[in-house]
Amino acid sequence: MSAKYPILSPKKVIKAMNRLGFHKISQKSSHIKYMNNNTGKIFIIPKHYEIARGTLRSILEQANIELDEFLKNL
C-alpha cells in the first residue's frame, strides 16, 4: 500500500527535489520551474503557503518520481 500524499510547504518540496537532482531554471511570479539535467524532466512548483496533495501528486508525476522515493528524500 502506498503512503498518502502529504501537505507540505514549498520549501520542503524544493529541498527534496534538489536531493533528487532537480534545480531551479526560472521563476515567474510565485511559480518556480525546476529541471533535472539527467532526465530532462521539468515541473513547476507554486510558491504558496503550502502545496496541496493533488498538486504534489501532479509534480511527482511530471518529474517521474514515485511517492515513496520522494518521501525518503524529505
CATH numbers and ranges of domains, the chain? 10-72 (3.30.920.30)
pTM higher than the cut 0.85 = yes
Whether the per-residue pLDDT at 3 is higher than 80: the answer is no
Rounded to 10 deg, the angle between the 10-19 and 53-63 helix axes is 20
Q: Exposure of 37 by Cβ count < 10 A (0-12 exposed, 13-18 middle, 19+ buried)?
A: exposed
pLDDT at position 9 is: 94
Q: What is the pLDDT of residues 26-66, one digit of tens each?
A: 999 999 999 998 889 999 999 989 999 999 999 999 999 99
Whether the per-residue pLDDT at 2 is higher than 60: the answer is no
